[in-house]
Amino acid sequence: MPNPSRDLSPDLAPPPTSTDGRLLLLFEGDNVLVARMRIRAGETILVEGIDATLAADLPLGHKLARRAIAAGEKIVKYGAPIGTATEAIAIGTPVHVHNVRSDYTPTYHLMDAEKPEART
């Protein structure tokens, strides 16, 4: 019987050549990729064979869409649902609190505008 926990351990093998090596696919069924280092705004990156240009920095550990995701669709990471898209998300664009909601409790976060200075 497969061990459910072992299956959760992320697969850190190099991504397929159709995707930028700075992006990490944790689980084959995932519809998001994770940045393994900060990728700068304006850079064009390859996502599943499609060129995408980042409008803002994608920091280490943040996610972007591996394919087009429809409003209401589940976001899948580690092979498990981690929330629901609140709007359509284009391939190669960031997936975060602005376009995803929890299926359990709302996420508390501080708005960027409330910070004294924008982080670099």
Partner 1 sequence: MSMAIATGTTTAVPQGLQLTETMRGWLRSDGRKGIRNTVVVAYLVECAHHVAREIAIPFREHDVHVIGFPGCYPNPYAETMMERLCTHPNVGAVLLISLGCESFNKYALEKKVRDSGRPVKTIVIQATGGTRKSMAEGRAFVAEQRALLDEAPTVPMQPSELIIGTVCGGSDGTSGISGNPAAGRAFDQFVEEGAACIFEETGELIGCEHIMAARAVTPELGEILEASVAKAARYYATLGYGSFAAGNAEGGLTTIEEKSMGAYAKSGASPISGLIKPGDVPPHGGLYLLDVVPDGEVRFGFPNINDNAEIAELIACGSHAVLFVTGRGSVVGSAISPVVKICANPETFRRMEDDMDVDAGRIIEGRASLDEVGREIHDLVVDLARGKRTKSEELAHQEFVLGYKSFEPIGPACLPV
Q: Which residues are at the interface with partner 1 (CB under 8 A)?
A: 3-6, 8-10, 12, 24, 26, 34-38, 59-63, 75, 77-78, 80-83, 95-97, 100-110
Report in angstroms how near the CB of residue 95 gets to partner 1 at its nearest.
7
Token pair of 2 as six digits: 């497969």
Backbone angles phi, psi at 108, to 5 degrees: -90, 125
Report in angstroms how near the CB of residue 53 gets to partner 1 at its nearest.
20
Cβ proximity of 84 and 103 under 8 Å = yes
DSSP letter, residue 88: -
Q: Which is nearer to partner 1, 49 or 61 (CB)?
A: 61
Q: Which is nearer to partner 1, 51 or 120 (CB)?
A: 120
Q: Which is nearer to partner 1, 35 or 47 (CB)?
A: 35
Report in angstroms how near the CB of residue 68 gets to partner 1 at its nearest.
18
Cα 12 versus chain centre, distance: 15
Q: Which residues of 73-82 are buried (b: 16+ CB within 10 A; e: fewer)?
A: eebbbeeeeb
Q: Which is nearer to partner 1, 8 or 55 (CB)?
A: 8
